[in-house]
């Protein structure tokens, strides 16, 4: 299910920790990077590597918002809804994204290109309003900037 490279990376991660189970979150990130999400089969495999049960892994996965149990769009747009962004016009950015993409937060465009999420504070408060697309930060957003950013994505 995983490439040899990913498996090797996972073994390296596990070897670093004094207690195997500690490797769980970083290992899940490697799996998610490779597959785009975390299907049941992957959780079974992770459980085997770390001497855990499927349930051990599943309860952890469901606790953290950055793990996805279903495929999401190629670009995950995460727009901040918390107080500093709100004060600087974050709502207008979210509404603009909804209009441009034709989807609401939590939805994915039919072509699988974009998933839109509203998220809590991403640590960009002094440069609000802000969003992340996958792991990249975008600051000082305006509707025009958002259009430019979307157009620049490969």
Partner 1 sequence: MEKVRVLSARFDLPDSHTIEVYLRTGGYQALRKALAEMTPEAVIEEVKRSALRGRGGAGFSTGMKWSFVPKDSSKPKYVIANADESEPGTCKDRVLMEKDPHAVIEGILLAAYAVQAHLAFIYIRGEYWYLKERLEYAIEEARAHGFVGANILGSGFSCDIIVHPGAGAYICGEETALMESLEGKRGYPRIKPPFPAVVGLYGCPTVINNVETLASVPPIILNGGDWFRRLGTEKSGGTRLFAVSGHVARPGVYELPMGYSMKRMIEEDCGGIRGGKRLKAVIPGGSSAPILTAEEVEQCTLDFESLLALKSMLGSGAIIVMDEDTDIAQVVYRITKFYEHESCGWCVPCREGTRWMRKLLERLLRGEGRPKDVDLLYELARNIFGTTHCPLGDAAAWAVYPAIEKFRADFEKYVRAAAVSVSAEPSDVPGARRLLVV
Which letter, b or e, does each residue of 115-129 get, where b requires 16 or more Cβ atoms within 10 Å of its Cβ? bbbbbeebebbeebb
CA 4 → CA 41, 68, 112, distances in Å?
17, 22, 27
Identify which of residues 18 and 110 has a Cβ nearer to partner 1 in the complex.
18
Q: How far is the CB of 104 from partner 1 (least distance, A)?
A: 17
d(CA 50, CA 56): 10
Q: How far is the CB of 108 from partner 1 (least distance, A)?
A: 18
User: Tokens representing 108?
Assistant: 């994915």
Q: Give residues in contact with partner 1 (CB under 8 A).
A: 16-19, 21-26, 28-29, 50, 52, 59-60, 63-67, 81-84, 86-88, 120-128, 132, 135
Identify which of residues 72 and 121 has a Cβ nearer to partner 1 in the complex.
121
Q: How far is the CB of 34 from partner 1 (least distance, A)?
A: 15
Phi and psi of 44, rounded to 5°? Answer: -60, -45
β-pairing, 136-138 vs 131-133, is: antiparallel
Q: How far is the CB of 96 from partner 1 (least distance, A)?
A: 19
Identify which of residues 73 and 129 has a Cβ nearer to partner 1 in the complex.
129
Identify which of residues 66 and 153 has a Cβ nearer to partner 1 in the complex.
66
């Amino acid at each position: 299910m995983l490439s040899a490279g990913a498996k090797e990376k996972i073994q390296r991660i596990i070897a670093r920790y004094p207690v195997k189970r500690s490797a769980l979150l970083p290992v899940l990130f490697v799996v998610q990077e490779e597959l785009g999400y975390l299907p049941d089969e992957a959780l079974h495999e992770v459980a085997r590597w770390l001497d855990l049960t499927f349930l051990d892994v599943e309860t952890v996965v469901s606790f953290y918002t950055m793990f996805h149990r279903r495929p999401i769009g190629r670009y995950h747009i995460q727009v901040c809804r918390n107080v500093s962004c709100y004060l600087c016009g974050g709502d207008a950015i979210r509404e603009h994204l909804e209009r441009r993409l034709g989807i609401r937060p939590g939805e994915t465009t039919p072509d699988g290109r974009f998933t839109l999420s509203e998220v809590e504070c991403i640590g960009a408060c002094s440069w609000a309003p802000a969003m992340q697309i996958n792991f990249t930060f975008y600051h000082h957003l305006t509707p025009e900037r958002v259009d430019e950013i979307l157009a620049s994505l490969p």
